[in-house]
Amino acid sequence: MREIVFTDLDGTLLDPFTYSYKQAASAIALLQQRGIPLIFCSAKTRAEQELYRQELRISDPFIVENGGAIFIPKDYFPFPFDYHKAAGGYLVIELGIPYQEIRSILKRVEEQSRLGIRGFGDMSAEEVADVSGLDVASARRAKEREYDETLRLEGSKEDVQRILHLIEDKGLNWAHGGKYYDVMGGNDKGKATSILVELFTRKLGRLKTIAIGDSLNDLPMLSVVDVPVLVQKPGGCWENIDLPGLYRVEGVGPQGWKTAIGEVLAVSSRLVHYPISEERKDSNNYPSNKYP
* Residue-wise pLDDT tens digits, 206-232: 999 999 999 999 999 999 999 999 999
> pLDDT per residue over 80-110, tens digit each?
999 999 999 999 999 999 999 999 999 999 9
Q: Is the pTM of this model over 0.85?
A: yes
Question: Tell me, what's the pLDDT at 153?
Answer: 86
Q: Are 248 and 238 in contact (CB under 8 A)?
A: yes
DSSP 208: E
> pLDDT per residue over 3-39, tens digit each?
999 999 999 999 999 999 999 999 999 999 999 999 9
Instruction: Enumerate residues 6+ apart whose C-beta is below 8 A from 222.
Output: 211, 213, 228, 229, 230, 241, 243, 246
Q: In this predicted structure, which of 65-69, 126-130, 283-287 has the lowest mean pLDDT?
A: 283-287
Task: Please report, for the chain, the start and end positions of each structural domain, with discontinuous segments joined by +.
Answer: 2-96+188-283, 99-184
Q: How confident is the model at residue 43 (pLDDT cuts 50, 70, 90)?
A: very high
Mean pLDDT over 158-167 rounds to 94
> pLDDT per residue over 68-87, tens digit each?
999 999 999 999 999 999 99
> Distance (Å, rounded) from C-alpha 157 to C-alpha 171?
22
Which spans in the chain are helix H?
25-33, 46-56, 99-113, 125-132, 136-142, 157-169, 189-204, 219-222, 254-266, 278-283
Q: Are 209 and 227 in contact (CB under 8 A)?
A: yes
> Distance (Å, rounded) from C-alpha 174 to C-alpha 176?
7
> Distance (Å, rounded) from C-alpha 150 to C-alpha 143?
9
At the top level of CATH, the class of 99-184 is alpha beta
Q: How confident is the model at residue 176 (pLDDT cuts 50, 70, 90)?
A: confident
Question: Tell me, what's the pLDDT at 246?
Answer: 95
Helix, strand, coil in percent for the chain, rounding step 5 = 40, 20, 40
Q: Does the structure show a pLDDT above 70 at 282?
A: no
Q: Does the structure show a pLDDT above 80 at 274?
A: no
> pLDDT per residue over 116-162, tens digit each?
899 999 999 999 999 888 999 999 999 999 999 999 888 888 999 99
Strand partners, 227: 210
At the top level of CATH, the class of 2-96+188-283 is alpha beta
Mean pLDDT for all residues in the chain: 89
Decide if 8 is catalytic: yes
Q: Would you state the torsion angle of the CA atoms of residues 114, 118, 123, 126, taken in this order, to the nearest 10 degrees?
A: 130
